[in-house]
């Protein structure tokens, strides 16, 4: 048995608590502000400079960086590849009252008519739409209540991922991320998508009560207010059932085709959403792909 003693200066021992410099593969510590081992990606608690200091083998922070120009270019590619989006004749909306910045918090219904005048529900028979819609009723919307994930719901998650990965849009996204050395195979990418979107985390009381998919697409209620809920299909289906009441909008995108962007105010079973931005008329895979790109390219940042 041989013992080696290392004598280090105080400078060598110190690392910033919010940095991975000198901390790569350091064991998990509950008291740490952020983490630097490979598990931190799964639990979404990596330090912001994790990729710079602890990049996976084959990943070069300079050569494989995703620049703002890259983001712009690949986003436009995804937009053009959204072959399942609504045509102008598929969706008709009635935005009615435009709220000023000072009115968005009023919780006042200034639009007597529903937001959606017409939606061609034939869209919903497309495989990515149909598999997406099946996921929407899988969640307990109140935060602080543990999610009970059934075997059927797990199959629905896998089926949705299988269908979106058949699309040109998601294949383009994978090709881009593969070129940037983020993923070595499509199988690895799909496994990460499942964890990224459907992996559970806590929004309240330490319970495993939320996921990226639930928050962004299905919507939650936290402290008496609507949280997340950014999907046009979800809104349309609930408005049709009378569970959502459209109040007003504060922003309407400049496009004359779909997808368009709307910033809106609404009530969901009496719970209020002050500003809920949504792409109107896009396919599920467009939002799924675009938000995935942002999450991977700019973790923890705007």
Which residues on adjacent β-strands are paired with residue 201? 210
Kindly list the catalytic residues.
Answer: 215, 230, 273
- Number of Cβ atoms within 10 Å of the Cβ of 95: 16
Q: Are 161 and 196 in contact (CB under 8 A)?
A: no
Alpha-carbon gap, residue 265 to 229, rounded angstroms: 11
CB 86 within 8 A of CB 281: yes
46, with CB counted inside 10 A (0-12, 13-18, 19+), is: buried
Give me the half-sphere count of Cα atoms (radius 13 Å) on the Cβ side of residue 183: 19
Tokens of 271: 């719970």
Helices (H), the chain: 10-13, 39-43, 50-53, 68-80, 127-135, 151-164, 168-179, 186-198, 212-213, 232-241, 284-297
3-state helix, strand, coil in the chain (%, to 5): 35, 15, 50
Burial of 90 (0-12, 13-18, 19+ CB in 10 A): middle
């Amino acid at each position: 048995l041989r013992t080696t003693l290392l004598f280090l200066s105080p400078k060598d021992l110190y690392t910033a608590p919010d940095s991975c410099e000198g901390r790569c593969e350091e064991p998990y510590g509950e008291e740490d502000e952020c983490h630097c081992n490979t598990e931190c990606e799964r639990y979404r608690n990596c330090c912001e400079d994790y990729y710079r200091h602890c990049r996976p083998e084959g990943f070069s922070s300079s050569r494989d960086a995703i620049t703002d120009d890259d983001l712009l270019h690949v986003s436009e590619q995804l937009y053009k590849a959204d072959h399942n989006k609504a045509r102008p004749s598929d969706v008709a909306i009635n935005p009615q009252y435009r709220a000023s910045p000072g009115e968005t918090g009023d919780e006042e219904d200034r639009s007597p008519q529903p937001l959606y005048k017409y939606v061609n529900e034939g869209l919903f028979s497309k495989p990515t739409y149909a598999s997406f819609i099946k996921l929407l009723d899988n969640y307990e919307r109140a935060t602080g209540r543990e999610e009970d994930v059934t075997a059927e719901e797990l199959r629905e998650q896998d089926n949705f991922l299988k269908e979106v990965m058949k699309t040109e849009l998601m294949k383009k996204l994978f090709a881009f991320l593969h070129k940037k050395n983020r993923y070595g195979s499509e199988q690895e990418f799909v496994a990460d998508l499942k964890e990224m979107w459907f992996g559970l985390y806590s929004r309240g009381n330490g319970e495993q009560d939320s996921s990226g998919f639930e928050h962004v697409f299905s919507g939650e209620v936290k402290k008496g207010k609507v949280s997340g809920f950014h999907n046009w299909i979800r809104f349309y289906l609930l408005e049709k059932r009378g569970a959502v009441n459209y109040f007003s909008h504060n922003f309407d995108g400049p496009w004359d085709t779909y997808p368009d962007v709307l910033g809106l105010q609404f009530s969901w079973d009496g719970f209020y959403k002050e500003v809920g931005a949504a792409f109107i008329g896009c396919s599920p895979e467009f939002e799924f792909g675009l938000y995935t790109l942002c999450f991977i390219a700019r973790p923890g940042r705007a």
